[in-house]
Amino acid sequence: MIKVSGVSKKFKLYHTPTDRLKEKILRKKYHREITALENISFEVKDGQTLGIVGQNGAGKSTILKVLSGVMLPDEGLIEVDGKITGLLELGTGFDQELTGLENIFMNGTFLGMDKTEIERKKDEIIDFTELEDFIYDPIKTYSSGMLMRLAFSIAMHAEPKCFLVDEALSVGDAYFQQKCMRKILEFKNNGGSIIFVSHDMNAVKIVCDSAILLDHGHIISSGDPKDIIDYYHGMILQKAHMGDAEVIVYDMNDTKDCTGRKNPNASTGEVELISFKILNSKNEETLYIESEQVIKVIYQVKALKELSDPHFGLHVRNNLGVSVFETNTYCSGIKTFTLKKGQIAELVWEFFFPLSAGDYSFSVGVANKGYGKDAFEEYLLMAHDIEVLKVIPNDSAIIYSGVFNMKPKIKIQEMYGNKS
């Protein structure tokens, strides 16, 4: 368990190194203060994972450094029931001139293990890294992925109660990232607490039980990871918007979509989603289908100003909030038309739905003036989770597990060995 109460951290920035000396001698202020964290409070219980989401400079890495003891907070209290280790900046706690094996002993000592414990766990640490004979080479010869393997293995084998994961995990190859993720989930299932920072929003949704959204050192929202990430995406649209209207990010507790559900949305107020429905293969409105059927998604958008180049999107996510399909008319190469103020555009999306049994939510986006391959000058609306479609198994399909039925063609033939 880890509990953070009212933690704040500020940094002094000097224009030149000389100003730092002048401030000491002359007793005058030659710096400006940057608030990295302001009154941060949260709690992570045993067996739970907290995701920290935010743009670069929001304070994510700073809070991890404070939690790991690399930095001390200026204010506030941190209570930890046990040892904290983490995978923060690559190279922290390592000597570039020493071999990987020597760094296991040095870094392991920094993480609170004695020599006997390290000796006992040494082979397990090395086996997990899969570095083989490279473990006897100086780590200055390692790639960033090799260094990440070593750092992660040592940190996990230190048997912490709380594990901190920063973006350092992203430098490894896909195979080892998956291996690390399995180890992290195993650690969580055994009662460990995890604080997880990543720009991979799908990973946050899968791994985390709750999440907080940081912006300029402040917690601006907390709650279910899917809701926090939707809110975060709205913030990104707000900052990316190049039009004249202000983009407003609505809190999930304050707004309802056209179906009456409360959802986190982002809108300029220049378009309105006025209807949304899903039709089955018989053109009947429905909220459940058999897998591997054709469906239609139909929605109407009203323009509250003239749109010279409007484009419309559709996003499908599973019950964990993980994206399974997303596109829009611009990325699909579909030419649209000028939408006058007060006009309504009706979008009809017809497609085969091969996904396995489960619940899938549909979100809608509207933008104006496309440019480049997949960007827009104006982001007008992002409405999340308008409807949820329940997909049941198709009895005529093969039995399979996974995301969707790939309908394999299987050929088997009897082979004969060479006659003697």
Domain boundary residue, one of 221, 241, 275: 221
The CATH number for 365's domain is 2.70.50.60
pLDDT at 254 over 90: no
pLDDT in tens, 148-176: 999 999 999 999 999 998 876 777 677 88
Residues 211 and 323 grouped into a single domain = no
The predicted model gives 73-78 an average pLDDT of 95
Residue 134 token pair: 């490279």
Kindly state whether residue 7 falls inside one of the protein's structural domains: no
Residues 293 and 335 grouped into a single domain = yes
pLDDT band at 249 (very low <50, low <70, confident <90, very high): low
Instruction: Decide: helix, strand or coil at residue 85.
Output: strand
The predicted model gives 294-320 an average pLDDT of 95
| pLDDT for 243 | 55
Closest Cα partner for 166 from 96, 81, 71, 92?
A: 92
Kindly report the CA angle at 230 between 403 and 166, in degrees rounded to 5? 80
Distance CA(209)–CA(47), nearest Å, equals 10
Range scoring the smallest mean pLDDT among 228-242, 264-278, 363-377 = 228-242
Instruction: Decide: helix, strand or coil at residue 390.
Output: strand
Residues 154 and 277 grouped into a single domain = no
Residues 93 and 186 grouped into a single domain = yes
| pLDDT for 320 | 81
Q: In DSSP terms, which residues pair with 272 in a beta bridge?
A: 302
pLDDT at 266 over 90: no
Distance CA(25)–CA(380), nearest Å, equals 55
Kindly state whether residue 244 falls inside one of the protein's structural domains: no
pLDDT band at 96 (very low <50, low <70, confident <90, very high): very high
| pLDDT for 36 | 94
Residues 53 and 139 grouped into a single domain = yes
pLDDT at 251 over 60: no
Q: Say which residues have a Cβ less than 8 Å from residue 418's Cβ, sequence separation at least 6.
A: none
Q: In DSSP terms, which residues pair with 307 in a beta bridge?
A: 339
Cα distances (angstroms) measured from residue 132 to each of 64, 125, 234, 291: 31, 11, 46, 46
Kindly state whether residue 126 falls inside one of the protein's structural domains: yes
| pLDDT for 258 | 46
For 371, half-sphere exposure in the C-beta direction (CA atoms, 13 angstrom radius) is 6
| pLDDT for 242 | 56
| pLDDT for 322 | 86
The predicted model gives 337-354 an average pLDDT of 96
Closest Cα partner for 359 from 321, 316, 318?
A: 318
The per-residue DSSP string of 209-255 comes to SEEEEEETTEEEEEE-HHHHHHHHHHHHHHHH--SSSPPEEE-TTT-
| pLDDT for 255 | 41
Question: Residue 408 sits in which domain range?
Answer: 249-413
pLDDT band at 257 (very low <50, low <70, confident <90, very high): very low
Residues 114 and 181 grouped into a single domain = yes
Residues 198 and 64 grouped into a single domain = yes
Share of the chain above pLDDT 70, in %: 91
User: Is the Cβ–Cβ distance between 316 and 325 less than 8 Å?
Assistant: yes
| pLDDT for 259 | 41
pLDDT at 16 over 50: yes
Domain boundary residue, one of 176, 206, 221: 221
Using left for φ > 0, alpha for ψ between -120 and 50, and beta otherwise, residue 402 falls in: left
Range scoring the smallest mean pLDDT among 56-60, 298-302, 319-323, 400-404 = 319-323
Token pair 């909220």: residue? 287
| pLDDT for 244 | 56
| pLDDT for 82 | 87
User: Is the Cβ–Cβ distance between 291 and 353 less than 8 Å?
Assistant: yes
Residues 209 and 122 grouped into a single domain = yes
Residues in the chain: 420
| pLDDT for 236 | 79
Share of the chain above pLDDT 90, in %: 65
Distance CA(311)–CA(346), nearest Å, equals 12
Distance CA(122)–CA(115), nearest Å, equals 10
User: Is the Cβ–Cβ distance between 407 and 415 less than 8 Å?
Assistant: no
pLDDT at 1 over 50: yes
Domains: count for the chain: 2
Kindly state whether residue 263 falls inside one of the protein's structural domains: yes
The per-residue DSSP string of 340-361 comes to -TT-EEEEEEEEEE-BPSEEEE
Residues 121 and 171 grouped into a single domain = yes
Residues 308 and 409 grouped into a single domain = yes
Token pair 């709690």: residue? 43
Kindly state whether residue 271 falls inside one of the protein's structural domains: yes
Residues 287 and 404 grouped into a single domain = yes
Kindly state whether residue 147 falls inside one of the protein's structural domains: yes
Kindly state whether residue 38 falls inside one of the protein's structural domains: no
For 374, half-sphere exposure in the C-beta direction (CA atoms, 13 angstrom radius) is 6
pTM of the model: 0.76
pLDDT in tens, 267-282: 888 999 999 999 999 9
Domain boundary residue, one of 202, 221, 240: 221
User: Which residue would you say has higher pLDDT here, 134 or 258?
Assistant: 134
| pLDDT for 250 | 56
The CATH number for 82's domain is 3.40.50.300
Average pLDDT, the chain: 89
Kindly state whether residue 344 falls inside one of the protein's structural domains: yes
Residues 179 and 320 grouped into a single domain = no
Q: In DSSP terms, which residues pair with 156 in a beta bridge?
A: none
The predicted model gives 247-255 an average pLDDT of 50
